[in-house]
Chains A and B, each alone.
Chain A
């Protein structure tokens, strides 16, 4: 008797609850409105102050709210005018005079002029500036060559450098060089990062902590008002949840789709975008001690690792095989004659035998994940198998990203023979300058953690960074790449193709080689 009464009542209660829940709620899952683009971001932004942030994730918002003096031409990494309409460089490469665009106003209504530009750079670089305390500005060293910023007249500004520095223009196109409203900084002080004001196609509307950053169209944009009414950036830190949210129609655009999730987006309802960028994934080899002190063994490692298999199978085609230290995205500086080391285990065994290093033990630092590291554990395991197949004995040590950097950056000496690493830079200068020169060994403050040293490469890199003529720079960099490929201080593995998925309601979107997200030409139906 009791059994019947309980189950019957239970059934009725459960049924009522379910009906109420489904009936009352099914209408609550709203479609995203037209004209409003919802972007799935990978993390909560730190701040919307371009001078204060370092993450690509934050740059994706900033590039739509601010402009720099210059910007990258659509689809390239070459600079073109933005808030500056033109510029002159002095013959010695130390003076840059910019003519500024007239009639531009910040979102807060204040005027963009030479004083505003000077304010921006002084705030970052001059410790005595009244608003230096709105920092810290971790990437201000991009402009450490700037000695002085001088207002010539209302719409002319002069930068004086302490030495010729070719990446200067490119750095101005980087988010750290975006121009903020001095009036807004003065008004909000340290809170500026949550009350941003720039000159860009979208103006800041609202920041709901851990939920969304909302920007609205700037109808007075100097380069033409965007067609979207608003963009919502939602931080969704979990990749699976981000994918599910896209499949459920809650967001219109996602970036950094995990390779394994790409197959979910085949079909007409979605468009998958891909764009190779200025990224290189490599293994640092310890050239100071152990087996890799011998160039033949370093080359053997390059032959032994099956990069095609890693790129196609582990990364599901989201990257391309790297040939040398410079990513092909730097079109003018890239040496297209370089062929990647082919997968040739026999050749590797031969070189190892020549060097007398059969069966050598290798300690291999692997990270669990980090900026630009793609799928490091799976990649590391595949590499371990390839290296063991040619007779090495490889021991993997895995570290969480920050711990990993703390181990690798001070140098591999006495700890490891090889370590994973990846870089993304906005110019072809920074990476080799910080990682391949003799004077970039860790004890001298650089990132040459494998102690590579070649006097000729040092000379080429110094010259390329100081030269202002692009053709001359290109020739120097191409020669450098040939030598470095031969010397094999790294195993050159992959150049990542950034990806994004848009729903069929989104038009006019394309990814940029800079990895920035530019939304002013995007339409949503």
Chain B
């Protein structure tokens, strides 16, 4: 097992190196440079050149790449031009906020998606199935940022039941209740589409299982219908639902970009959008590499977990 984990970790190194090259080249190739972005109207060639020199951007691309990579390997991600603080501090703080939001959304969509799917399947073509299917299709079809804005208008502006934006109150304690009230709207807006997808797939996975012989056997043996659905059928259906959850986790995370902007959540998605617009090269590069590294490690962890459960996967 140790050998397998080691092998997977080693195979991640070229992937991460590839990511550093790609993100570096993209930032180098897109038009516009940080000096022009900082100077705005005053970006004379002379001022731009002076500022580029002071930011260390007058060196060749190859030099810049290796300086960046070398510093990063020593744990130094550089300093953000636009925020004037170490990239790693900013990224860690923001990543934490994104994890809270995306984690909650993921929990919501997994629970509600699976429950809705199971109920639909258990009542195929019944009233509950039709109602759930209708709501689910509606949820899948509404863009999350639009839903977010509408939720702000209804629940925050008109009903004043929730705060409009941010993660913490400006005044008052930073306790769990305050976090939950700020988290509710963005987490729901973020979870809706994924809930729909998971519900649809859970429904078909369940229907497939419910047609199988062992379900009929269970019913014939007099198992209570609730037990048949939740204990026997769902357990078998989870084999095909879990990979879907994994994929949806990625979608939920990428949806963070829109939701974080609409709700001004201080997360990594909003940070990257701001950084790209300001050509804050080191922050974009550092942020992307950090998120990518987390994603790669997460995937390795999932693979390792799966191989622990099912030894056939290990090769």
Contact B32 A403 (CB under 8 A): yes
Contact B42 A54 (CB under 8 A): yes
**With an 8 A cutoff between CB atoms, is A226 at the interface?**
no
Contact B166 A10 (CB under 8 A): no
| Chain A proximity of B40: nearest CB distance (Å) | 5
Q: Which of B162, B167, B168, B274 lies in contact with A237, CB distance below 8 A?
A: B274
Contact A28 B181 (CB under 8 A): yes
Using an 8 Å CB-CB cutoff, how does the interface string of B34-77 with A read, 1 for contact, 0 for none? Answer: 01111111111111001100110000000000000000000000
Cα separation A136 to B81 with both chains bound (whole Å): 10
Cα separation A28 to B180 with both chains bound (whole Å): 10
Interface size class, chain B: 35 or more
Contact A28 B261 (CB under 8 A): no
**With an 8 A cutoff between CB atoms, is A205 at the interface?**
no
| Chain A proximity of B165: nearest CB distance (Å) | 5
Contact A43 B184 (CB under 8 A): no
Name the interface residues of B248-274: CB closer than 8 Å to any CB of A.
261-264, 266, 270-271, 274
Stretch with Cβ within 8 A of B (4 or more), from A239-247, A454-462, A489-497 = A239-247
The verdict on A237 contacting B44 (CB below 8 Å), with A29-B160, A248-B160 known, is no
What B residues does A248 contact at CB under 8 A?
156-157, 160, 163-164
**With an 8 A cutoff between CB atoms, is B169 at the interface?**
yes
Contact B165 A52 (CB under 8 A): no
Contact B169 A30 (CB under 8 A): yes
Contact B42 A139 (CB under 8 A): yes
Per the CB 8 Å criterion, the residue count for chain A at the interface is 71
| Chain A proximity of B34: nearest CB distance (Å) | 9
| Chain B proximity of A125: nearest CB distance (Å) | 12
What A residues does B42 contact at CB under 8 A?
54, 138-139, 141
Using an 8 Å CB-CB cutoff, how does the interface string of A388-415 with B read, 1 for contact, 0 for none? Answer: 0000000000011111011101000000
Of A209, A234, A370, most B-chain CB atoms within 10 Å: A209
What A residues does B84 contact at CB under 8 A?
46-47, 52, 193-194
Cα separation A247 to B155 with both chains bound (whole Å): 12
Minimum CB distance partner of B53 in chain A: A136
Q: Which of A21, A371, A445 lies in contact with B46, CB distance below 8 A?
A: A445
| Chain B proximity of A138: nearest CB distance (Å) | 5
Contact A3 B128 (CB under 8 A): yes
**With an 8 A cutoff between CB atoms, is A232 at the interface?**
yes
Minimum CB distance partner of A372 in chain B: B41
**With an 8 A cutoff between CB atoms, is B90 at the interface?**
yes
What A residues does B170 contact at CB under 8 A?
32, 38, 211-212, 232, 234, 250
Minimum CB distance partner of A422 in chain B: B41
The verdict on A406 contacting B123 (CB below 8 Å), with A138-B51, A237-B270, A240-B149 known, is no
Minimum CB distance partner of A369 in chain B: B277
Minimum CB distance partner of A43 in chain B: B274
A-B contacts besides A44-B83, A237-B270, 9 pairs, CB < 8 Å: A10-B119, A24-B177, A209-B266, A212-B170, A234-B166, A238-B262, A405-B36, A406-B32, A447-B41
Identify the 3 closest CB pairs spanning chains A and B, nearest first: A402-B32, A210-B266, A403-B31
